[in-house]
Amino acid sequence: MFVPGSQHRGFANFREFYVYYLGEHSNRVSRRLHVAGTLLAVLIAAAALLSGRWAWLLAAPVAGYLPAWIGHFFFEHNHPATFRHPLYSLRGDLTMLWGVLRGRVRW
């Protein structure tokens, strides 16, 4: 079982990863940067799909990751999980955004 703060980097499932993910996003400013970036990336992607302006899809990852990485490097002082667990990390971003929108995750 994963213990937050341990050096363990393997996760049996997303539920275990998400506990780690939330721990790596405990700084309020960093969490807000993540939520804002993820929301902006989702909106850009939706606008690209609805308008047929496919080039806008190139801006979505930049809009999502730039604020998140600023949060990690300047506020959390840790490294993004994107580099070690890219799919779980993306799912974590979307799960946290959904939790914030539903009032289940503090930001």
**pLDDT tens track for 9-30:** 689 999 999 999 999 999 999 9
pLDDT reported for residue 10: 86
DSSP state of 105: S
- Asked if the model's pLDDT at residue 2 lies above 70, the reply is no
In a domain, 37, yes or no: yes
The answer to whether position 10 is within a domain reads: no
Longest dimension (CA), the chain: 45
Q: Give me the number of domains the chain comprises.
A: 1
What element of type H or E holds 12?
A: none
Q: Are 107 and 100 within 8 A, CB to CB?
A: yes
Tell me the pLDDT tens digit for each residue of 85-106: 999 999 999 999 999 999 999 9
Residues recorded for the chain: 107
- The pair of structure tokens assigned to 77 is 């002082």
- 4 lies in some domain: no
**Domain region containing 58:** 15-101
pTM score: 0.86
Query: Does any domain span residue 21?
Result: yes
